């Protein structure tokens, strides 16, 4: 986009974007700064597969009152087209900066379009929005959140009537509607207070909330073990939406010895003690770990700002605390659920587990041992939700015993169609209490698992590509990778190349191709001798490329050493400037 066009957009926003004073202040501040204007206006913030996400601020390429409302108007136009007799939408939000403001403005746009809105009266976990959609018979849902991103981000997730994030087909239709709109002239900006008074916006009742909590607690396998465990838990909601719901469920299940990290207890979108509020990373857990040591706690639980992911750390024999990866928690919960349901005789016929394709292949070994069917899906929990929906159509939702993705998202049951850190926190505490009652720590239980199946080391490397130039570089890397992937690493030859954009799996030993029966996606998987796997894909929500490694060894050190060798080779392909 040329400079004249950029400046014209800038001046237009300076004239018309007056609803939020913060935007006017920002625009005035960057006057004459070509680079800052470029970053805000070189493209529109895209409505991706299920929603939008971006840095807060003024401009087309930022999360703000106007970009949120334009996206919402597009969603409204789509809903009016498929449900002309009147659509219903559930709306929620988390603790991020302007989340409540954006949720109310989106609700007002929907109401102005004649769409009935059911809205939570305070911040709630993402899965509670998914639940409300189905419980209230809604046609869609919106949750204003940027999940675990740094504080400068916000976004929202859009849902379908099944409680899953919008399907690829529905997202495409919404995108078409959005592209027809002028951001200032074609949006029906509404008045929240008036719509609430008129009944077009209605707060979700406490009965719906209690129905959700009842559904969560029904997933307990040994509900009596919590109170007997004597377990001590430190919990941090990372200044997000999990504080009340997680504590409520744990308390009602009998885990009363809970200490909450005071600095991270209350909602705060600035995340002052953890600038990157992602429970995958130790930096976000440091304050909680320090409190664990002070309280001599058995377990640390940490949920992300919208409470759909949970990370943990467990005390070891030396009194220190070890973090568990999302893969480790996923496979341990899966095996715990399988073993205990078999022992209690509550396992359904032909049980199914579901995982994202980038999650550890240790899952395959566990499912094979116990005769559980395993379904792999593309990255994104909506694909897991879609599989549960297919089972529902057949009247067989009980067959799905557990689902997870390596990025710390887990689900037991079919009451929601998104990952749920509330039920995951409950089951993690149950599993820990169960092993505790048998004289095992979670760390010892993990060691027993690896002793049986081998050590599967899973690691993700992230490579950020900021700005317009970064987006182009990402595309070039993914294109090149399909032909110049490493043919051999540490003596192990590449065996299979799976190109999910092309939709084919190439056997490198004989050059034969077979189709991949999954939706097309910009992802490449290279399988190597020795059961090592490397998966490369652009993030669907952030300007970065992710590389997922699985290496297998007899010991942790062996598997980790192999990862380092693969990482060294693939990192060189990312063309990061030093």
- Is residue 539 within 8 Å of residue 525, measured between CB atoms? no
Q: Render the burial of 458-492: b for 16+ CB within 10 Å, e for the rest.
A: bbbbebebeeeeeeebbeebbeebeeebbeebbeb
Dist. CA 429–CA 253, nearest whole Å: 10
Half-sphere exposure of 327 (CA within 13 A, CB side): 21
The two tokens of residue 415 are 């009451």
Cα Rg, the chain, nearest whole Å: 24
Cα–Cα distance between 166 and 137 in angstroms, integer?
A: 16
Beta-carbon count within 10 A of 576 CB: 13
398 class by beta-carbon count within 10 Å (0-12 exposed, 13-18 middle, 19+ buried): middle
Please identify which of the residues 105, 147, 356, 425 carries the catalytic annotation: 147
Q: Mutual orientation of helices 206-217 and 421-437 as an angle, nearest 10°?
A: 30
Report residue 506 as tokens.
């190439």
Distance (Å, whole) CA 475 – CA 511: 26
85 to each of 76, 115, 166, 186, how far by Cα in Å? 13, 10, 21, 22
d(CA 428, CA 436): 12
**Distance between CA atoms of 165 and 138, rounded to whole angstroms?**
13
Cα separation, 320 vs 65, whole angstroms: 46
Q: How far apart are CA 57 and CA 152, in angstroms?
A: 9
> At 54, phi and psi to the nearest 5?
-175, 180
Q: Are strands 140-144 and 153-159 parallel, antiparallel or unpaired?
A: antiparallel
103 catalytically annotated: no
Residues 271 and 154: their CA atoms lie apart, in Å, by 13
Burial class (CB in 10 A: 0-12, 13-18, 19+), 321: buried
Angstrom distance (rounded) from CA 278 to CA 298: 21
CA 116, CA 87: separation in Å to the nearest integer? Answer: 6
Tell me how far apart the alpha carbons of residues 379 and 367 are, in angstroms, rounded to a whole number.
20
142 vs 161, 181, 574, CA distance in Å? Answer: 11, 20, 35
Residues marked active site are found at: 147
């Amino acid at each position: 986009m040329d400079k004249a066009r950029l400046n014209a957009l800038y001046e237009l926003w300076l004239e018309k974007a007056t609803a939020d004073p913060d935007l006017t202040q920002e625009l005035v501040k960057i006057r004459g700064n070509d680079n800052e204007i470029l970053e805000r206006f070189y493209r529109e913030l895209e409505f991706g597969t299920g929603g939008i996400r971006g840095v807060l601020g003024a401009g087309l390429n930022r999360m703000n009152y106007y970009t949120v409302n334009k996206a919402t108007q597009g969603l409204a136009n789509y809903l009016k087209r498929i449900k002309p007799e009147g659509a219903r939408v559930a709306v929620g939000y988390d603790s991020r900066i302007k989340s409540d403001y954006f949720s109310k403005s989106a609700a007002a746009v929907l109401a102005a379009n004649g769409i009935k809105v059911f809205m939570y009266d305070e911040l709630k976990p993402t899965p509670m929005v998914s639940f409300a959609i189905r419980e209230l018979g809604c046609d869609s849902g919106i949750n204003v959140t940027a999940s675990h991103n740094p504080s400068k981000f916000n976004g929202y997730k859009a849902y379908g009537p099944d409680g899953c994030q919008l399907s690829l087909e529905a997202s495409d239709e919404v995108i078409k509607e959005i592209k027809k709109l002028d951001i200032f002239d074609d949006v029906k900006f509404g008045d929240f207070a008036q719509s609430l008074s008129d009944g077009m916006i209605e707060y979700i009742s406490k009965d719906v909330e209690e129905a959700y909590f009842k559904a969560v607690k029904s997933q307990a396998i040994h509900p009596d073990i919590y109170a007997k465990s004597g377990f001590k838990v430190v919990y941090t909601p990372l200044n997000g939406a999990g504080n009340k719901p997680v504590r409520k469920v744990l308390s009602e299940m009998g885990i009363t010895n809970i200490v909450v990290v005071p600095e991270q207890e209350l909602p705060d979108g600035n995340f002052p003690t953890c600038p990157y509020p992602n429970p995958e990373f130790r930096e976000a857990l440091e304050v909680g770990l320090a409190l664990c040591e002070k309280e001599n706690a058995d377990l640390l639980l940490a949920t992300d700002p919208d409470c759909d992911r949970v990370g943990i750390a467990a005390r070891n024999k030396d009194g220190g605390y070890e973090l568990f990866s999302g893969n480790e928690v996923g496979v341990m919960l899966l095996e715990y659920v399988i073993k205990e349901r078999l022992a209690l005789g509550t396992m359904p016929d032909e049980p199914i587990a579901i995982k994202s394709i980038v999650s550890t292949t240790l899952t395959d070994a566990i499912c094979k041992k116990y005769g559980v069917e395993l379904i792999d899906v593309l990255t994104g929990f909506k694909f897991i939700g879609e599989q549960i929906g297919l089972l529902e159509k057949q009247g067989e939702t009980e067959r799905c015993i557990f689902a997870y993705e390596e990025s710390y998202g887990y689900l037991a049951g079919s009451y929601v169609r998104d990952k749920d850190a509330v039920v995951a926190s409950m089951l993690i505490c149950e599993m820990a209490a169960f092993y505790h009652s048998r004289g095992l720590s979670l760390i010892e239980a993990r060691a027993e698992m690896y002793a049986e199946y081998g050590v599967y080391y899973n690691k993700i490397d992230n490579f950020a590509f900021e700005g317009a130039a970064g987006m182009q570089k990402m595309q070039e890397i993914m294109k090149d990778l399909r032909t110049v992937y490493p043919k051999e690493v540490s003596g192990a030859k590449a065996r299979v190349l799976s190109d999910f954009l092309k939709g084919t799996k190439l056997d490198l030993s004989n050059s034969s191709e077979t189709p991949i029966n999954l939706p097309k996606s910009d992802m490449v998987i290279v399988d190597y001798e020795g059961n090592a796997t490397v998966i490369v894909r652009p993030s669907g929500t952030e300007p970065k490329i992710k590389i997922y490694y699985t290496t297998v060894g007899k010991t942790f050190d062996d598997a980790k050493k192999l990862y380092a060798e693969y990482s060294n080779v693939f990192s060189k392909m990312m063309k990061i400037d030093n």
